[in-house]
Structure 1
Amino acid sequence: MERDGQLELYDRLAARLKEAHSRVRSPHIPQSARVPLTRRLLVITAASKHDLAGAERRLERLMADIDEGRFSAAAGDVRMDGTP
């Protein structure tokens, strides 16, 4: 039974990762924020190979940041409108 739960979690996480990648490529995301967001997604993707539940929590935080317009850039925080 636990295996079935893991498969469901894997499927849900895979769908959310796909959605997150699409959102990061969105024209609404400032160019200065795309690289850091992409790096975060790559880290989450790598973590998902070892810790599905932890990766899902990290992805939820990332998606919340995107939804709320909080982007982390190398030069500091950037909002959806591109202002620091």
Structure 2
Amino acid sequence: MEAVEAELYRLVATRLKVAHAQVRALDVSEPIRAALTRSLLLVTEAAKRDLPEAARRLARFTDALDSGELPLPPGS
């Protein structure tokens, strides 16, 4: 694993951990929390195949969460 890829992996892993903690701390219904958690699990899965895309998806998710939006996947 190249140094740049390893650093991106560490960054994504750290940001996923923080995002999961943010979702757990939200005052939302259990179905919404479950949908948000599923979104994060999809990012985790994506990281196994396409790390840069996973990083972009996670950035969009956390930006929405930080702005007060609930970044729910389509159909939630």
In the alignment of these two chains, the number of paired residues is 72
Higher fraction of helix? 2
Q: Percent identity?
A: 40
Structure 2 unmatched ranges of 5 or more: none
Q: What is the TM-score when the length of structure 1 is the normalising length? A: 0.78
Q: What is the TM-score when the length of structure 2 is the normalising length? A: 0.85
Moved >4 Å (runs of 4+): none
| Larger radius of gyration between Structure 1 and Structure 2 | 1
- The structure whose RCO (Cα within 8 Å, separation 6+) is larger is 2
Higher fraction of strand? 1
Structure 1 unmatched ranges of 5 or more: 75-84
Change (3 A) 1:62 1:29: farther
C-alpha RMSD of matched pairs (Å): 1.6
